[in-house]
Amino acid sequence: MGKPVNSRPKEQPPAGRAVEQSVMGPVDKAMEVLSALVETGAPHRLADLARRTGLTKPTVHRLLRGLAGSGFVEPAEGGSYRAGPRLLGLAAAALDSGPALRRIRPVLAELRTRTGLLAHYAVRDGDAAVCLEVSEPAREYALELRPGSRAPLLLSAPGLAVLAALPPAEAEEAFSAAEAAGHPLPVSAADLRDEITAAAERGYAVDDQYEQEDHRALASAVRDAEGRVVGAVALTGLVFTLDRAGVELYGPMVRAAARAVSAGLVSDGRPGLTVAREAVRDLGAGL
């Protein structure tokens, strides 16, 4: 079994989160608890869930009891909690039903095989990038990334790639909203904007230890048949396995993989031919 690599400690909810949670309805609060429950490091103790959600311990405990009765949560050792079979079943069904993921899985497997790095796919959820699929190589050190993992939009390669692919006005609105979320930035907002501009030009974004120390990641946006940005294909590795030369080598591969997925999502018509030609061209150059 791989040994987890040390990473930055999880941040507490931004200032004012507890006030914001006080006006939420019971369904919203339950969703917050479930979201915290599936974060990396399960099973989770009551105090950790309360801290991550900004809810009081009695509120979290009451919600956990109700969710456990419905099979969405189950108790674990030491008074902690983990996702229950009903939640896992819903997640598995949702992940298996999307056409995008059916296209993405073989592409991620090929990308992982060619690079020896962890390949994954993520989508935007407000001010976060959420991982939906992972293709992990067999290595001594395992990276802490799995379906359901969340990362701040501005600190992750998939998030930056999505922003780079959005129309300028929409990208600026999303950037401002993500910045207002209050996640500490390891670099200036101006530097992140420069990276987004560069990503738009080269076709892939680079997370240079923004999200986690000693980790580097590359990502390129995926578009659906209407040309809408739906997510991003990404590669992640430790800095000594994904060095500067690796970025230059693997960046075009990630871009080609994302375009191949996009081409698969286009059913017919001229847009599909255009994207397919670009994908074939890049696959030849990058892979």
The answer to whether residues 127 and 239 belong to one domain is yes
Residues 130 and 242 in one domain: yes
Question: Would you call 112 helix, strand, or coil by DSSP?
Answer: helix
**Beta-strand runs (E) in 205-278:** 205-208, 215-223, 229-238
In 3-state terms, what secondary structure has residue 72?
coil
Task: Identify whether the C-beta of residue 119 lies closer than 8 Å to the C-beta of residue 234.
Answer: yes
Within this chain, do residues 34 and 127 fall inside the same structural domain, yes or no? no
Q: Mark whether 180 and 68 lie in a shared domain.
A: no
Answer yes or no: do 240 and 125 share one domain: yes
Tell me which of 90, 111, 140 is where a domain ends: 90
Count of domains observed in the chain: 2
Predicted local distance difference test score (pLDDT) of residue 258: 95
Are 105 and 232 in the same domain?
Answer: yes
Q: Which stretches of the chain drop beneath a pLDDT of 70?
A: 1-23, 40-41, 92-99, 139-142, 267-287
The angle subtended at Cα 8 by Cα 214 and Cα 235, nearest 5°, is 45
Under 8 Å between Cβ of 233 and 98 = no
Residue 26 is part of which domain span?
A: 3-90
- What's the pTM? 0.70
Q: What is the pLDDT of residues 141-187, one digit of tens each?
A: 667 787 878 888 999 999 999 999 999 999 999 999 888 888 888 88
